């Protein structure tokens, strides 16, 4: 709808108030952290958008050149603070790839369970904040109630509720306490009806559809050009998920699990879950689809966790111990991308023989996901800006590093 409005140069508008330059953020309630967006608006219509980042820059990569790989782990959960476990996993796998060692089958199973639990938690925050930006406060409360239960489970394992530093390179310091998996199963069972409630309040809600369907349409080519990854890319109809198409050291974790990659292939979703119907106004690649892909991924993660728990309890091997503090890194470099909830999180470590890496580079998924914002928001109303921003689900810690 707003695509052809932008193309036609004769934009007819009612009363031409002169243009206004409006700053949204950095402390704006709906910019997900410290992002400043400068809008050039004409009345209600946004003609130009310029995001400004860097307010949360902590030079994480430079610090990595002073610390050993194990000491640096706590910094990785501060990148995407809503999905700390996935960041730790990415860092751990990259170090293992550099050292050329593999962890035991049982550790890999535990890592799958914990990574998918954290993915559910991150997607819950995304769904809740999306509803909050569109004005409905209640789903935000529901999603955070569920997220608290997941965070309690994590607290049992590693004592922390947000910055876990649990999945160390080489293994984990201590396995989950007994009865943990039972509580995990109990959480999943009571979580099923909550998803249907969220569908009822948001996905199928006529007003939600009117506010998101057809808004901020990201064509597949533009998504690929801007390097968008994760739910943003899949919502544009590109069937690409690193858990299936990634490097062997990462995909072997998911061997033997039956699950599906969620992406609207020519407008249809893989129908293994009785999902609500796609509304007619929704165009592949719009805000509604980005939201819907995340909701279906939560269901896939639940399948993965249940299968993970079965395989973990069936396997009577041993959990590996992490590498020692000052392990010498070989001379050389390793780069690995993993499927974090927001998109593909890449870590590159260049070792020079000593225990401290010579250079570390972090490829952030949210940085690429936010870059098409000026394209998406041209000719859109002011009220749609937060909707598009929330659908991209960005975290500033990861963008500014």
Partner 1 sequence: MDAINWHGCFFLLFAAVACGFAVAVVVAGNIVRMACCLVVSLAAVAGLFFLAGAEFLGAAQLMVYVGGTMVLLIFGVMLTARGPLVSMKTGGGQWVLALVIGVALFAVLLQAATSSSAWDGPRENNLVRHDPVQSEESVTQDAAGQLGLGLLGVREDKIRQENKVLRGGMSGYLLAFEIISVHLVVVLVGAAYLARARRRVQGSGVRTPSPESRTPIPE
Partner 2 sequence: MAELLISISTPDWLAHIIAALVQCALLLAIALCSAAVGIWLERKVSARIQDRLGPTRVGGRFGWLQPPADGLKLICKEDIIPAAADHILFRIAPYISFCAVFCVFLALPFANGWVAVELNAGAFFLLAVAGLEIFGVILGGYASGSKWSLYGAMREAAQVVSYEIPLGLCVVVIILLTGTMNLVAIGNQQAGWFFNWHIFHDPFTFVTFWVYVTCAVASSNRAPFDLPEAESELVAGFLTEYSGFRWVFFFMGEYASMFVVSALGALLFLGGWNGPVPIASLLGLTPEHGAIGGWINTILGPIISMLGLTLDPAAWIGNLLGMCNFIAKAFLGMTFMIWLRWTLPRLRIDQVITTCLKYCVPIVSAMLAGVMLWSFFLPGGLFAALTQPASFPRSAWERTDSTLRVDGPQDVGEMQEEAGTRNVTALRSHAEHGNEGNIQEESR
Using CB under 8 A, list all residues that contact partner 1: 9-19, 21, 38, 40, 48, 50
133 versus 337: smaller Cβ distance to partner 2? 133
d(CA 170, CA 73): 12
d(CA 224, CA 242): 15
- Of 50, 101, 138, 354, the residue at the interface with partner 2 (CB under 8 A) is 138
45 sits in which H/E element: strand 45-52
> Can residue 3 be called a binding residue for partner 2 (CB under 8 A)?
no
Terminal CA-CA length for the chain: 36
Using CB under 8 A as the criterion, what x/- string covers residues 13-42 for binding partner 2? -------x-x-----xxx------------
In 3D space, the residue among 344, 303, 315, 293 whose CA is nearest the CA of residue 113 turns out to be 303
Which partner, partner 1, partner 2, none, binds residue 386 by CB below 5 to 8 Å per kind? partner 2
Which residues in 322-381 contact partner 2 (CB under 8 A)? 381
Which partner, partner 1, partner 2, none, binds residue 211 by CB below 5 to 8 Å per kind? partner 2
12 versus 178: smaller Cβ distance to partner 1? 12
d(CA 197, CA 248): 38
Closest CB 383 distance from partner 2, rounded Å: 4
100 versus 135: smaller Cβ distance to partner 2? 135
Which partner, partner 2, partner 1, none, binds residue 142 by CB below 5 to 8 Å per kind? partner 2
Sequence-distant (≥ 6) Cβ neighbours of residue 365 within 8 angstroms:
229, 230, 340, 342, 343, 344, 345, 398
Which partner, partner 1, partner 2, none, binds residue 56 by CB below 5 to 8 Å per kind? none
85 versus 389: smaller Cβ distance to partner 2? 389
Closest CB 32 distance from partner 2, rounded Å: 11
Sequence-distant (≥ 6) Cβ neighbours of residue 255 within 8 angstroms:
none
d(CA 398, CA 42): 32
> Can residue 12 be called a binding residue for partner 2 (CB under 8 A)?
no
Using CB under 8 A as the criterion, what x/- string covers residues 180-209 for binding partner 2? ---------------------xx--x-xx-
233 sits in which H/E element: helix 231-235
Which residues in 51-80 contact partner 2 (CB under 8 A)? none
> Can residue 137 be called a binding residue for partner 2 (CB under 8 A)?
yes
d(CA 251, CA 290): 24
8 versus 27: smaller Cβ distance to partner 1? 8
In 3D space, the residue among 285, 269, 286 whose CA is nearest the CA of residue 277 turns out to be 269
Transcribe 99-145 into DSSP letters.
HT----HHHHHHHHHHHHHHHHHHHHHHHHHHHHHTT--HHHHHHHH
Q: Interface residues with partner 2 (CB under 8 A)?
A: 20, 22, 28-30, 44, 131-138, 141-142, 145, 201-202, 205, 207-208, 210-211, 381-386
């Amino acid at each position: 709808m707003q695509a052809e409005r932008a193309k036609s140069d004769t934009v007819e508008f009612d009363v031409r108030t002169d243009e206004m330059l409006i700053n949204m953020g950095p402390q704006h309630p709906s910019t997900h952290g410290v992002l400043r967006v400068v809008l050039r608006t004409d009345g209600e219509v946004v003609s130009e958008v310029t995001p400004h980042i860097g307010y949360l820059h902590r030079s994480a990569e430079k610090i990595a050149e002073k610390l050993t790989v194990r000491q640096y782990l706590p910094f990785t959960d501060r990148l995407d603070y809503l999905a700390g476990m996935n960041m730790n996993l990415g860092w751990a796998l990259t170090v293992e790839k550099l050292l050329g060692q593999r962890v035991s089958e049982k550790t890999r199973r535990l890592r799958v369970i914990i990574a998918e639990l954290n993915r559910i938690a991150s997607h819950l925050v995304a769904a809740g904040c999306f509803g909050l930006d569109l004005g409905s406060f209640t789903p935000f409360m529901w999603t955070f109630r569920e997220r608290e239960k997941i965070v309690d489970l994590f607290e049992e394992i590693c004592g922390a509720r947000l910055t876990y530093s649990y999945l160390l390179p080489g293994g984990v310091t201590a396995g989950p306490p007994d009865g943990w998996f039972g509580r995990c199963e109990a959480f999943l069972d009571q979580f099923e009806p909550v998803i249907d409630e969220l569908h009822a309040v948001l996905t199928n809600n006529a007003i939600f559809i009117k506010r998101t369907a057809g808004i901020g349409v990201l064509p597949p080519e533009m998504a690929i050009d801007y390097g968008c990854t994760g739910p943003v890319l899949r919502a544009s109809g590109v069937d690409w998920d690193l858990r299936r198409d990634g490097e062997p050291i990462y995909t072997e974790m998911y061997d033997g699990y039956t699950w599906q990659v969620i992406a609207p292939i020519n407008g249809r979703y893989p129908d293994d879950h009785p999902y609500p119907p796609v509304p007619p106004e929704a165009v592949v690649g719009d805000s509604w689809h980005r939201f819907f892909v995340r909701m279906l991924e939560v269901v896939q993660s639940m399948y993965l966790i249940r299968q993970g728990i079965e395989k973990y309890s069936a396997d009577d091997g041993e959990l590996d111990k992490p590498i020692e503090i000052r392990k010498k890194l070989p001379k050389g470099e390793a780069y690995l991308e993993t499927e974090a909830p927001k998109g593909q999180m890449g870590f590159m470590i260049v070792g020079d023989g000593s225990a401290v890496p010579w250079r570390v580079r972090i490829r952030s998924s949210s940085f690429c996901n936010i870059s098409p914002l000026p394209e998406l928001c041209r000719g859109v109303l002011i009220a749609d800006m937060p909707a598009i921003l929330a659908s991209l689900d960005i975290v500033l810690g990861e963008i500014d590093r």
